[in-house]
Amino acid sequence: MKYYIKFSILFLLFTSFLLAQEIQKVEPPFWWVGMHNPKLQLLIYGENISEYVVNISDKEVILDSVTKTENPNYLFLNLDFSKVKQPKKIKINLVKKGRKNLRIDYELKPRAINSANRNSFDSSDVIYLIMADRFANGNPKNDSLKDAVEKVDRTKSGGRHGGDIQGIINNLDYIKDLGATVLWSTPLLEDNELVYSYHTYAQSDYYKIDPRYGTNDDYKLLADALHQRDMKLIMDYVTNHWGSKHWMIQDLPTANFINQWPEGFQRSNYRMTTQFDSNTSLIDAEACMNGWFDITMPDMNQRNPLLLNYITQNAIWWIEYAGLDGLRVDTYSYNDKEGIAKWTKAITDEYPNFNIVGEIWMHDQAQIAYWQKDSKIGAIQNYNSHLPSVMDFTLYDELISVFNKDKSTWNDGIIKVYENFANDFLYPDIDNILVFAGNHDTNRINEIYQNDLDKYKMIMTLILTIRGIPQLYYGDEIGMLGNKDKLGDGDIRRDFPGGWPNDSQSAFTQNGRTQTQESYHAFTKKLLHWRKDNEAIHNGKTLQYIPENNVYVYFRIAQTGTVMLVINNNIETQNLDLLRFAEGIKKFTKGEEIISGNEISLQKQLTIAGKKSMIIELQ
């Protein structure tokens, strides 16, 4: 008898456990009242959950329909909240004969004031890009956690180093003091791959900050801390691929949730031109769009409406929850182009002033411009991505070599930069493109130019004064080096000096920086702070002159002022006849050179030393 009682107790405990596990996921975990789009597709996940009948007693909530898939562990509830006017909790009942009824208390929260009309980043900003794992470790307690497969090991360049959200918060004053106004961190969502998880582009949970970085609340605290400093936060968002360890990849709702190939793994051919090439073969186009980015990164199928709804709602959830000021979208042009256009439009419909920049890593201005919102090039194929901003990779292509070209020819030297800007007419919104001299995927700019401070100054002068939104890569402002071609990606993602308690020196403070680091930092800081209030640099018209003797001259002109920029890429001192630049100088007779503070006469001739730049605010 006692064995029977023990068995019964164990059976009841086991049954209770099973019942408790019926609902394993509800996503989004909550939503908001008063959204522009009142409809929500709620995902419910649990063993054989599709066998349950759903009813909602709240008369203000409309259950339009229930979507089931071939996988019985999923239910998708298509809800309409248009009649809901006040925050509340709604009861979602799941009923199955012979089983315990289940209930979800689903919360509709109040929106933040003016949430829909939030401002975003623009050409008045400077973006500071960091890799969270390599920036600063503010909480060593979360370095290696039980449920996180990869543990911290700073001896591995491709391993986890322990940087986290608290480390970022601790050093926000450094970024603000430098003069940057926007923080872009590479992804912070959970990436539970066995190795190389630190970059977090193979995410395993889209509603969860990686616990080695902190919590969802920590991420919101980061946004709040930035806003308190009048700064902004960009989330790095990945639509093209998920991580192989994502819980939905382990138990797909539908077979076509991801792009699958009969032969198994099929790597992308990375030829993004097939997305618009009218002559391309179908097999090549599919290999680009549907091929996997990497073996641990399943390619998501944006043609599947369930997947498209999921990533759309998820992005909106993070914007609303954390108070985000923008998105950077990884590998934008690898997505199904119709699907990603719908995704982008849904977000900008919800937030009309919201800026999203897409990674369009191509090497032709027309091909990049194709992807910007309202592109006339895209319109030829009746295509509009609705993507507000793209990245100026063609300018980057020139920046990594042009300042080593000491002599100019008809088509070489700094003329390459001039020619890049000559194609600005291709872009529908030239002020809203991202300009940069490096990021987490490229060799360090100071490595390319062998720590030549004069060349760094010319590069930063250009990046921070031309049209568009400038982006800096963490550590470039202190001369950090890194060569991925020789030493792998980890070398261009080195730890920021002083971000770890036992670091031998800290570059976060002036006293902690070496003389070389301070030389880079002081120049960058001065230029960034000057830029903050200069309308001509933010939105002014560009007037450029064909380079002569490898000297490039251009003006940024606004009603509030004019700035003259001179970049001498020649190794020899050059004397410029200022009569040639009368159209830009107009009636101005003098100016202040911003970096030196010297007064410059604009009467007849301007002398500039070799491999130097000048920023002259006309007076």
Among 535, 568, 589, where does a domain finish? 535
My answer on whether 187 and 149 are in the same domain is: yes
pLDDT in tens, 430-449: 999 999 999 999 999 999 99
Instruction: Show the domain range for 174.
Output: 125-240+323-535
Among 77, 111, 145, where does a domain finish? 111
Residue 145 in domain: yes
Of 474, 461, 427, 407, whose CA–CA distance to 172 is shortest?
474
pLDDT in tens, 176-218: 999 999 999 999 999 999 999 999 999 999 999 999 999 999 9
Residue 248 in domain: no
Q: What angle do CA 267, 387, 215 make, to 5 degrees?
A: 75
Residue 296 in domain: no
Q: Is the peptide bond before 547 cis (omega within 30 degrees of 0)?
A: no
- The domain spanning residue 24 has which CATH number? 2.60.40.10
Residue 253 in domain: no
pLDDT in tens, 281-297: 999 999 999 999 999 99
Half-sphere exposure (Cβ direction) of 550: Cα atoms closer than 13 Å: 22
Q: Is 483 helix (H, G, I), strand (E, B) or coil?
A: coil
**E strands along 171-222, which residues?**
182-185, 189-190, 205-209
Q: What does 264-312 look like in DSSP terms, one character per residue?
A: S--B----GGGGT-TT--HHHHHHHHTSBSBTTBPBB-TTSHHHHHHHH
Residue 14 pLDDT greater than 60, yes or no:
no
Pairing of β 355-358 and β 612-618: unpaired
My answer on whether 410 and 454 are in the same domain is: yes
pLDDT in tens, 464-501: 999 999 999 999 999 999 999 999 999 999 999 999 99
pLDDT in tens, 362-387: 999 999 999 999 999 999 999 999 99
Round to whole Å and give the CA distance between 395 and 364: 10
What residue has token string 């599947």? Answer: 304
The per-residue pLDDT for 471 is: 98
My answer on whether 12 and 90 are in the same domain is: yes
My answer on whether 543 and 531 are in the same domain is: no
My answer on whether 428 and 487 are in the same domain is: yes
The per-residue pLDDT for 297 is: 94
- Non-local (6+) Cβ contacts of 117 within 8 A are 351, 352, 353
Round to whole Å and give the CA distance between 606 and 575: 6
My answer on whether 425 and 528 are in the same domain is: yes
The per-residue pLDDT for 4 is: 45
My answer on whether 411 and 507 are in the same domain is: yes
My answer on whether 530 and 551 are in the same domain is: no
Residue 478 in domain: yes
Residue 312 in domain: no
Contact 381, 279 (CB under 8 A): no
The per-residue pLDDT for 20 is: 44
Among 535, 553, 575, where does a domain finish? 535
Residue 17 pLDDT greater than 80, yes or no:
no
Across 161-199, b (16+ Cβ under 10 Å) vs e yields bbbbbbbbbbbbebbbbbbbbbbbbbbbbbbbbeebbbb
**DSSP state, residue 68:** -
Residue 438 in domain: yes
* Whole-structure pTM value: 0.95
Contact 38, 82 (CB under 8 A): yes
Of 420, 424, 425, whose CA–CA distance to 401 is shortest?
420
pLDDT tier for residue 11 given thresholds of 50, 70 and 90 = very low
Across 354-384, b (16+ Cβ under 10 Å) vs e yields bbbbbbbbbeebebbbbbbbebebbeeeebb
My answer on whether 193 and 327 are in the same domain is: yes
Round to whole Å and give the CA distance between 170 and 168: 5
pLDDT tier for residue 262 given thresholds of 50, 70 and 90 = confident
Contact 384, 373 (CB under 8 A): yes
The per-residue pLDDT for 413 is: 95
What is the average pLDDT value for the chain, to the nearest integer?
Answer: 95
Q: Could you tell me the end-to-end alpha-carbon distance of the chain, in angstroms, rounded to an integer? A: 100
Residue 283 in domain: no
Q: How many domains does the chain have?
A: 3
Active-site residues, by number, are: 330, 359
- The domain spanning residue 594 has which CATH number? 2.60.40.1180
Task: Taking residues 389-412, report their average pLDDT.
Answer: 95
- The domain spanning residue 210 has which CATH number? 3.20.20.80
Q: Which two tokens stand for residue 601?
A: 């006469």
Of 530, 391, 404, whose CA–CA distance to 458 is shortest?
404
My answer on whether 106 and 208 are in the same domain is: no
My answer on whether 89 and 209 are in the same domain is: no
Q: Which two tokens stand for residue 427?
A: 């872009």
pLDDT tier for residue 265 given thresholds of 50, 70 and 90 = confident
Q: How far is CA 437 from the centre of its chain?
A: 16
Round to whole Å and give the CA distance between 347 and 309: 11
Half-sphere exposure (Cβ direction) of 12: Cα atoms closer than 13 Å: 6
Residue 256 pLDDT greater than 90, yes or no:
yes
Round to whole Å and give the CA distance between 420 and 537: 18
Contact 532, 570 (CB under 8 A): no
- Non-local (6+) Cβ contacts of 297 within 8 A are 201, 202, 241, 242, 243, 244
Rounded to 10°, the helix 216-228/305-322 angle is 50
Q: Which two tokens stand for residue 468?
A: 């568009």
Q: Which two tokens stand for residue 143?
A: 């370095």
My answer on whether 346 and 465 are in the same domain is: yes
